[in-house]
Amino acid sequence: MSKPKFAMYWAAACGGCEIAVLNTNEKILDVDANFDVVFWPVAMDAKYKDVEAMADKSILLTLFNGAIRNDENEHIAHLLRKKSQILVAFGACATQGGIPGLANLSNTQSMVDTAFSTISTDNPDDIRPQTEYKMPEGKVTIPTLYPAVKSLNQVVPVDYYMPGCPPESHQIAAVIDLVVQVVQGKAQLPPAGAVIGAGNSSVCEECTRTRGEKQIKKFARIQDFKPDPAVCLLEQGILCCGSATRSGCGAVCPKAAVPCVGCYGATDDSPDHGARLLNAVASVIDSRDPAEVEKILDGIPDPAGMLYRFGMPGSLLRASKSAWQYKG
């Protein structure tokens, strides 16, 4: 009796998603007991050619974390799509583009310049990465950066979305339980395209802080003052993204006196997380004078980065003009 096959892959990601899976503690044993792990670069040795040799649709479940940043990421996304029955966009990067998606505010050239020639870099000969290089033994290549970061569903069809940076371990455990039950024929899969392992309300619903009327004269940051531990952070002028962000995490950040940064993305009814967040943030500004509003807005030094911290590629505009017009 062969066990169903499981794969997990990281594209443009930090590795936090894998840590979150391991943070499910003994639940990870259920994965081992119920699945045959065939490909998981972080946890075991396997080569791309091993995956290429597998029969199509032979992997039951693939958790794909990370954004699509270069041609290697995209190649593996297509490969795993072909080999998998269920492909899950796992974590903020795969679902929305995540932190790597912030690169969409700049073009490739300016990013490479920043990385290789700014003052903190010791690079006297101004050496730059080349995508291919001729060696006596032959040509060696590295993946080519794309002008704009993409989410997984922008390159291949995705069956389920599991948001979070990283997804909360108790949610991962619940999803593992569900899949195990499905495999055992005790449960049905949710409808295609569903968001799994998350709620569909806002983080505010799970937050224990008291909410009153929000009227803000000044935006502040948590290092600047000691916020009241019982009162809504946004009410205190701290840019908390909870009001426009999907629930499911248990409001862990605001409960720990840190503002929500919006990693669970938009709720089902919103096509653009940052837009909803912008509506909410602008609406709490307590001023009728445009000059004063501008002064208050100076308290948000990087609006695009704040509103789209985890979702630039998955937003309506996706990438800044300088990124998508770049023909490097």
Partner 1 sequence: MAQQFEPVIIGFTCNWCSYRAADSAGSGRLKYPPNIRLIRLMCSGRIDTTFVLQAFANGADAVLISGCHPGDCHYVEQNYKAQSRFLLMRRMLAQMGIEPQRLQLLWASAAEGTIFAAEVTRMVEEIRKLGPLNWGSDERRKTASRDEGLSSSVLRPSSSLQGVAA
Binding site for partner 1 (CB under 8 A): 1-5, 57-60, 85-86, 105, 146-148, 150, 153-159, 182-183, 185, 187-189, 192-193, 270-272, 274-276, 278-279, 281-283, 285, 287-288, 290, 293-294, 297, 300, 302-305, 307, 315-322, 324-325
Residue 147 or 199 having the CB closest to partner 1: 147
- What angle, rounded to 10 degrees, do the helices at 27-34 and 169-183 form? 30
DSSP H helices in 84-152: 91-96, 108-117
Residue 253 CB, nearest approach to partner 1 (Å):
22
Residue 27 or 276 having the CB closest to partner 1: 276
- 203 Cα distance to chain centroid: 17
Residue 31 or 249 having the CB closest to partner 1: 31
For strand 138-141 and strand 132-135, is the pairing parallel, antiparallel, or unpaired? antiparallel
Residue 24 or 153 having the CB closest to partner 1: 153
As a whole number of Å, the CA-based R_g of the chain is: 22
Residue 70 or 154 having the CB closest to partner 1: 154
The Cα–Cα gap between 140 and 128 comes to 15
Residue 210 CB, nearest approach to partner 1 (Å):
23
Residue 298 CB, nearest approach to partner 1 (Å):
9
Residue 205 or 286 having the CB closest to partner 1: 286
The Cα–Cα gap between 171 and 249 comes to 8
Residue 140 CB, nearest approach to partner 1 (Å):
27
Q: Which two tokens stand for residue 41?
A: 């670069």
The Cα–Cα gap between 225 and 211 comes to 19
Residue 15 CB, nearest approach to partner 1 (Å):
26
Query: Which of 265, 290, 255 has its CA nearest to residue 282?
Result: 290
Residue 203 CB, nearest approach to partner 1 (Å):
19
Of the chain, the end-to-end C-alpha distance in Å amounts to 53
Q: Which two tokens stand for residue 124?
A: 């006297």
* Bond from prior residue into 166 cis (ω within 30 degrees of 0): yes
